[in-house]
Amino acid sequence: MLRFIVLLLLLANGLYFAWTEGWLRELGAGPAVQTEPQRMTQQLKPEALRILSPEEARRVEALAAAPKAPPPECLEAGLFDNKQSAALRETLEQRLPAGSWTLQASVQPPRWIAYMGKFANADAAAKKKAELKGRGVAFEPLRNAALEPGISLGGYETQAKAEQALKELTQKGVRTAKVVQEKPEQRGDLLRLGAVDEKLRPVVDGINEALGGKALRACGK
């Protein structure tokens, strides 16, 4: 029995050796051929391969290492009344490429806030902010200087939403807040620059004076 097993092992080793050497390829058995002609058939468009010169290689490395320009961004500013829009339009037509900007009639809804104030002074407002922070009540900067020194506990597009928010704040211990209109509805023209890239940015920076103090911001903000 042992002699039979040894013979089987010798036969198996012999067959494997013959397979690896390709002696059985005529019988349809054998490992994949790895010679150069077969490898060439596996290449994708080998005729497109080209060896770069040292100078070309340095240029490719420099391009790969160079910082990529940020993508174009959409900016807007406004609103502008009729007089402001007329003056701004003249500046835009002179300095910016056609099609890079629009002035569109727009409406900004009124803004209502849950408001605390006015306080006697800025120190009193700061003390109240510290108290609110301790209670976990959020607040935000006021957008109407006429309400300073005061605190906005959140802004809303309708008075009803602001009243509902005030009820929820009352449950957190806020007792002296009230609902006021921070800003009325505004109508005018909105300036939009749809795609400000690195090439256009210096030109856009040059029209800041024509914006009359209205800062450019990301679209939809």
CA distances from 93 to 35, 72, 97, 100, 198 (A): 68, 21, 7, 10, 20
Query: Does residue 112 contact residue 179 with C-beta atoms inside 8 Å?
Result: yes
pTM above 0.85, yes or no: no
Q: Specify the pLDDT at position 167.
A: 93
Domains of the chain: 2-44 (no CATH), 73-108+186-218 (3.30.70.2750), 111-183 (3.30.70)
- Best mean pLDDT range from 37-51, 66-80, 84-98: 84-98
Task: Dump pLDDT digits (tens) for 190-202.
Answer: 999 999 988 888 9
Q: What is the pLDDT of residue 50?
A: 74
Percent pLDDT > 90 in the chain is: 51
Q: Is the pLDDT of residue 216 over 70?
A: yes
How does pLDDT run across 133-158, given as a tens digit for each residue?
Answer: 998 999 999 989 999 999 999 999 99
Asked if 85 and 188 count as a contact pair (C-beta separation under 8 A), the reply is: yes
Degrees, nearest 5: CA angle 136-139-141: 155
Q: What is the mean pLDDT of residues 110-117?
A: 95
